[in-house]
Amino acid sequence: MKRAIYPGSFDPVTLGHLDIIKRASAIFDELIVCVSVNSAKDNGLFTPEERTELIRKVTEDLPNVRVDCSRELVAEYAKRNRARVLVKGLRAVSDYEAEIQMAMVNAKLYPKLDTVFLYTRPKYAFLSSTVVKEMARYGAELSDFVPRQIIEQVRAKVAAAAGGI
Ligand code: ADP
């Protein structure tokens, strides 16, 4: 069975992430979407558990997708879950350098691990979790950015954070 892991911060999950999830789940037998918590980027808007729940909500209809959350190194997580493939999305050349470096580090830590890159659909090339949070802060329409099932939650969270609640 071909099991792959799609790691990221997903703060929150966007339509760009969901597109990669759908495409990867059609390629592999099982896809684990892993909210990967790393110390340098730990000051997210949503807690890792909230991000995990949001991804679960938008992937309910994908039977071979599992959602998890981890605080360990991605390579160790992959090894423990007996997965030999990491999936990453590429938006622009600017993503490439950091992603290649991470792929090499991960392969150093776990030599059986390969990283597979899926290019973004052009309509999502501009999209990141940072863009979503910025748009939500300004009250912009979010339906082109995040799955409709989570729009209200994203809006409420951004409003609460802005109000210091
Ligand atoms: P970001 O905070 O930049 O959205 P994440 O860590 O949440 O990044 O992203 C997880 C993975 O999804 C990374 O491999 C990233 O390159 C990819 N990704 C993020 N946004 C998109 C998008 N719009 N299209 C394709 N891949 C994406």
Question: In the structure, what pLDDT confidence band is assigned to residue 41 with cuts at 50, 70 and 90?
Answer: low
* 161 is a domain residue: no
Give mean pLDDT, residues 105-131. 96
pTM for the predicted model, two decimal places: 0.94
Higher pLDDT, 162 or 60: 60
**Cβ-contact 116, 78 below 8 angstroms:** no
pLDDT, one tens digit per residue, over 76-96 is 999 999 999 999 999 988 889
Establish if 41 belongs to a structural domain: yes
44, 9 Cβ separation under 8 angstroms: yes
Percent of the chain with pLDDT over 70: 96
Q: What angle do CA 56, 61, 67 make, to 5 degrees?
A: 30
The verdict on whether 129 is a catalytic residue reads yes
* Inter-helix orientation angle 48-58/15-27, to 10°: 60
CA distances from 30 to 99, 100, 144, 145 (A): 22, 24, 27, 26
Alpha-carbon distance values, 100 to 16, 29, 42 (Å)? 20, 25, 22
Nearest to 22 by CA among 9, 7, 33: 33
71 inside domain: yes
| For residues 126-140, average pLDDT | 95
φ/ψ (deg, to 5) at 58: -90, 0
Residue 129: predicted pLDDT? 96
Q: Which residues pair with 4 in a beta bridge?
A: 31, 85
Ligand 1, pocket residues at CB < 6 Å = 8-10, 14, 16-17, 20, 88-91, 95, 120, 124, 127-129
Quick check: is 145 in a domain? Answer: no
- Supply the residue whose CA is at minimum distance from atom 15 of ligand 1: 89
Is 90 exceeded by the pLDDT of residue 162? no
- From the CA of 139, how far away is ligand 1's center (Å)? 23
The pLDDT score that the predictor gives to residue 40 is: 63
> 136: CA distance to ligand 1 center in Å?
18
In eight-state DSSP terms, residue 165 is -
Structural domain span for residue 28:
3-124
Is residue 133 situated within a structural domain? no
| pLDDT-derived band at 15, boundaries 50, 70, 90 | very high
Least confident of 23-27, 129-133, 161-165: 161-165
pLDDT score of 98: 92
| Domain containing residue 68: CATH number | 3.40.50.620
Q: Is 2 annotated as catalytic?
A: no
Active site residue 17: yes
What tokens does 112 get?
Answer: 């059986």
Q: How many CA atoms lie within 13 A of 64 on its CB side?
A: 17
Are 34 and 75 spatial neighbours (Cβ–Cβ below 8 Å)?
Answer: no
Q: Of 10, 11, 17, which is best to mutate to test ligand 1, by the most ligand atoms within 8 angstroms of its C-beta?
A: 17
Q: Is residue 160 part of a domain?
A: no
pLDDT-derived band at 117 (thresholds 50, 70, 90) equals: very high
Distance 13 CA to ligand 1 centre (A): 9
Please tell me the residue having the least CA distance from ligand 1 atom 6.
8
How many domains would you assign to the chain?
Answer: 1
Domain-embedded: residue 22: yes
- CA 162, CA 156: separation in Å to the nearest integer? 10
99 within some domain: yes
Is 94 part of the annotated catalytic residue set?
no
pLDDT higher than 60, residue 133 = yes
Residue 118's beta-bridge partner residues? 89
Distance in Å, CA 8 to ligand 1 centroid: 7
Q: What is the mean pLDDT of residues 90-104?
A: 91
